[in-house]
Chains A and B, each alone.
Chain A
Amino acid sequence: MALTWVLAGNSNNLKIGKSAMLSRRSTGFRAVLLLMVILPIGVVAALGDYITAEDYLNRVFWGELPASNTVWLTGERKQRAEEILGHKPGVLRMRYWGDQSRSAWIVDEIGKTEPITIGIVIGDSKIEEIEVLAFRESRGWEIKHDFFTRQFRGAFIEQQQRLDRSIDGISGATLSVNAMTKVSRLVLYLAESIGNPKTDLY
């Protein structure tokens, strides 16, 4: 900024620009100060558990929690899960509450280095809703906002377990966006196994 003023001072044409720059500096300066106060608060507020698993399940099942069951990630399912996640699934079985027509899942998936806990409800083979239950990294938490998660509502999977739509990313949150997309595809895929007699066999 100092240099630009020096340059401006050396040219007659830019003298007006210099005084204009001075008054811009005051409002700009104030805006920067304000941001410096708000941003750290925003970051601190973004970390941690937004909602416990119990509270989430109570909400999506209106207080009447159904029994839970599991889908084992073995054989073909393990392979597909690995393809979807881009890495070996960390667990051998995944739990859901509900049944074929409507199920809720709580899944942990690493964003960058820490797991993001995602709650997802599947109804009639489509995503009814998806929510971030806990976020543990300092960046990428923007995916918790409704403006982002509502893109997933009504989504289902097509060929190769790809979502029927493309998800608009958030710049600076690519890894979190990827994590949420992968979890959606995986859960939609696994939900197909509910009620299938082969499901609960190891």
Chain B
Amino acid sequence: MGVVSALFVLLLSFTGLVLHHGSSLGLDSQFITSSPLLNWYNIEVPGITLSYTAGNRRASIIEQAIYFDDAMLPGSYNNLAGIVESEFGFVIATNNRLILLTEQGELVEVLASVNGVPAGITAIGVGVGGVAILDSAAGLVQANLDSLRWEAVVDAGIVDNWSAASTVPEGLEAAIREHYRSTLLSVERLVLDLHSGRIFGAAGALLVDIMAVLFMLMAATGVWIWLRRRSE
């Protein structure tokens, strides 16, 4: 009984200590990649929602993460409208943002409505001279990404090529889903669940509750005994 409570005290104190310094230890930015643990949490990875190619590079969206080939881009996005090549690299369009990337896929800037990006973008294409054209709620818009000028386009014929969705090749799909899966469970979450007992569900949490009450009782009754002894 004493050994069991000693083990609990050790576990709770150790995990508590670790959690206390979670940020400086970087626990919230380190993730669990172990399959058995991810399976224990029933973490399943959804399929890739949508994917487009430009040149020989691919943009895909899985839940709220956009991948450029197999590299996850920073940021959270609700949808993907397409990708085209541009003079400095690539442009990925979502319904209200334009993600500018270099040839190597480094993030240059994310343009939003504050920069004049039209709302409701459903498609992106390339027009004469390699200019990006957006199909938006306000109609066709030509985007000059250097000067941030947005001009209405009347003639849809100037678009050579609209970015079209296509299926992700198996190898890349597996790599993306594998990577995405390894971003879902942080070390901090795991330590938190160990500390609270929730790693074993409601039963585990109840057990930790009982241990906490027992520790409180031990402390209180211990003081009581001491007080009684003192007054004898």
Contacts and interface: CB of A to CB of B under 8 A. Distances in A.
Contacts, number: 42
Contacts of B23: 112, 174-175
A3 interface: yes
Given A106-B114, A174-B23, A112 B109 contact: no
Given A68-B148, A113-B28, A93 B113 contact: no
Contacts of A175: 23
A41 interface: no
A57 B112 CA distance: 14
Q: How large is the interface on B (under 10, 10 to 19, 20 to 34, 35 or more residues)?
A: 20 to 34
B110 interface: yes
Nearest to A72: B108
Interface string B105-126: 0111110111100000000000
Interface string A167-195: 00000001100000000000000000000
B183 to A, nearest CB: 11
Contacts of B28: 112-113
B102 A92 contact: yes
A174 B108 CA distance: 29
A53 interface: yes
A52 interface: yes
Given A7-B224, A68-B148, A95 B112 contact: no
B114 A91 contact: no
A147 to B, nearest CB: 24
Given A90-B74, A95-B109, 11 more contacts: A3-B217, A7-B227, A54-B113, A54-B114, A70-B109, A91-B109, A92-B109, A113-B28, A113-B29, A174-B23, A175-B23
19 contacts: A3-B216, A3-B217, A7-B220, A7-B227, A52-B114, A53-B112, A54-B113, A70-B109, A90-B74, A90-B107, A91-B108, A91-B110, A92-B107, A92-B108, A94-B109, A106-B114, A113-B28, A113-B29, A175-B23
